[in-house]
Chains A and B, each alone.
Chain A
Amino acid sequence: MQGSSGRTFLTRMGLRNIRTNRTMSAASVLVLISCLMLIGLVFLIAVNLNAVFGQFSSRNVIMVYLNPGLDNDQIGGIEQHIRALPNVKDCVFISSEEAYQRVKAQNDGAFELLEGTGTSFLPAGFEVSPIRMDEFGDTVTTLEHIDPGVASVRSFQDVAKKLSAVERALMIFGAAVIGILMLVSVFIISSTVRATMFSRQQEINVMKSVGASQAFIRWPFLVEGVVLGVLGAMFALLVVFLVYALLASVLRPFFSNLLGGGFQLESFTKYLIVLLPGFLGLGVLTGGGGSMLSITRYLKEQVLEEALAREHA
């Protein structure tokens, strides 16, 4: 398009335009901050709800009970078989003795009647943790068909199905909200830039009259949009951090009692590595995209007028 000196000048021109049209620039940045802030908060809410579901899921294990009398080789073979399944995160062997101790611990005092009966009446088995809740049913069916050796399989499929459906709905809702907010950002930024464009009609006409190409005319507007996008992204990140910190301090007591205790809100800094490039990318896309949309539409309208004149000719 231009030599480096031309590009430098155009870039400076774009930066200067931000200062000159400071009211509209501030409006664009504020709009972007609002949208990105909502996107960020939706993201963090989704992340935390996912973590809650993750903890639910981790507690929703599948119990695979074994037939009595299996030797260690046979048990080892079944364990290998289970671990080789695609949706299995973990597989822990529970002997009859361990099962007995667990049940005893959970039913404190009620085992006195069984004193002296030994520990072998409870079957040994495996505690299988699935990876994905939406494939929970398939995993259970596969486990039921491990033959010989498996006596029965116990699971809470209904809970798993519900969790999976809620998780999926949440993801779709979150993605839809983020998508809509992005479209709103692009629309508002393009409208804002378009409003400034009409006030700069003379500037554009002067550019055209001295022979500026369309790429030359577009560049300062692109710079302006991208810089506004980056500014909006940085401020939005700061706002999200502050709002999240405030919410976390208010909600922490509630969450710490969730799931029988031990649940922690996700840390903001853990997701900074996702949020920072994500916000910058969204800022550049919406700022630069909105700007380009406006100038392209504006120049197209002018070309259309010229084409109409040509057609008339």
Chain B
Amino acid sequence: MIDFRGVTKEYPNGTVALRDVSLHIAPREFVFVVGASGAGKSTFLKLLLHEELPTAGSVRVGRFELNSLTRRQIPFYRRQLGVVFQDFRLIGNMDVYDNIAFAMRVVGAREKLIRERVDYLLRLVGLPHKAHSRPNELSGGEQQRVAIARALANNPDLVIADEPTGNIDPRMSQELVDLFVRLNEAGTTVLMVTHAHDLVRHYNKRIIILQDGEVVADGGLKPSAQTGGVQQAVSPAARRVAGDTQTWSVSAVAAAPPYYAAISQQTRYR
């Protein structure tokens, strides 16, 4: 689904946001991307959304080689993605229904299909009664659920969530991630960038840890007692994610696809 091959991104001011990043995310995976501010998470997302291009290396998402996308292809590429932002990015002068329908209108869907799909999505995110509310009449959690519904409108294979729980309370945060997990179980690849370490600890999913533009850890977090004591391979960043009260390690990810395993072996742990 996603391939980063030796990706480096250096900005004109000399800041190197990503250094020689290689990773693979397989279809149907659920991946958390974590890291401190300035670790390269935003650049990682910008590359995925084709808002930036790598200085070196290549990025491939599905059938799209992002380095060589033409201007005309960009909208078609973006239609394959469902993107959820921390600040929701709902259009303020449209009601909830139109915000969700908007993504389908962009691709030229018929009104009948739009009606059916939006009704379904509103039920899925638990907001059928808010169809005609304006975004400013909703709570943060509700707005984010609308944003998720919009991201799912065109049934994307990949959902990218950028700090989706950043502006909402902890209880609602967990409900949202539960929603992403359910989507993932239904076959959608989910990539979630987050600061919410509690959430990451709560779900036993693959974690990619970025630090100073490098992938410093890539795998699942499990208590060391269950994985045979490989905790010495875990970086300080991973330990911070895991919390100081427990000892964690990056698991061997035995169940992951072969390509993923190969990439994991290349990952440099500190």
Contact = CB atoms under 8 A, between A and B. Distances in A.
3 closest pairs, A vs B, by CB?
A: A211-B79, A211-B78, A313-B53
Given A212-B75, A309-B52, A312-B55, A207 B106 contact: yes
A16 B83 CA distance: 26
B129 interface: no
B79 A210 contact: yes
B225 interface: no
A2 interface: yes
A16 B91 contact: no
Given A3-B110, A6-B105, A303-B71, A209 B54 contact: no
Contacts of A6: 105-106, 108
Given A5-B114, A202-B91, A303-B71, 8 more contacts: A3-B108, A5-B109, A205-B89, A206-B89, A206-B102, A207-B102, A312-B55, A313-B67
Contacts of B109: 3, 5
A211 B75 contact: yes
Nearest to B107: A211
Interface in B60-81: 67, 71, 75-81
A7 to B, nearest CB: 10
Given A309-B52, A313-B55, A209 B105 contact: no
Given A20-B93, A206-B89, A216 B53 contact: no
B98 to A, nearest CB: 8
Contacts of A212: 75, 106
Interface string A73-85: 0000000000000
Interface string A115-143: 00000000000000000000000000000
B105 A5 contact: yes
Given A209-B89, A212-B106, A309 B53 contact: yes
A312 B93 contact: no
Nearest to A203: B91
A116 B38 CA distance: 119
Given A5-B111, A310-B53, A211 B105 contact: no
B103 interface: yes
Given A3-B108, A5-B111, A209 B49 contact: yes
A209 B83 contact: yes
Nearest to B153: A210
Contacts of A210: 78-79, 83, 102-103, 106, 150
B183 to A, nearest CB: 17
Contact of B93 (A3, A16, A211, A216): A16
A70 to B, nearest CB: 81
Interface in A1-24: 2-3, 5-6, 9-10, 16-17, 20
A102 to B, nearest CB: 77
A208 B78 contact: yes
Interface in A261-313: 303, 309-310, 312-313
A213 interface: yes
A244 to B, nearest CB: 40
A309 B79 CA distance: 22
A199 to B, nearest CB: 11
A312 B110 contact: no
Contact of A9 (B81, B105, B107): B105
A2 B108 contact: yes
Interface string B126-150: 0000000000000000000000001
27 contacts: A3-B108, A3-B109, A3-B110, A5-B114, A6-B108, A10-B105, A17-B93, A20-B93, A202-B89, A202-B91, A206-B89, A206-B90, A208-B78, A209-B89, A210-B78, A210-B83, A210-B102, A210-B103, A211-B77, A211-B79, A211-B103, A212-B75, A213-B75, A216-B75, A216-B106, A310-B53, A312-B55
Interface string B218-243: 00000000000000000000000000
Interface string B91-129: 101000000011101111111001000000000000000
Contacts of A208: 75, 78
Contacts of A309: 52-53
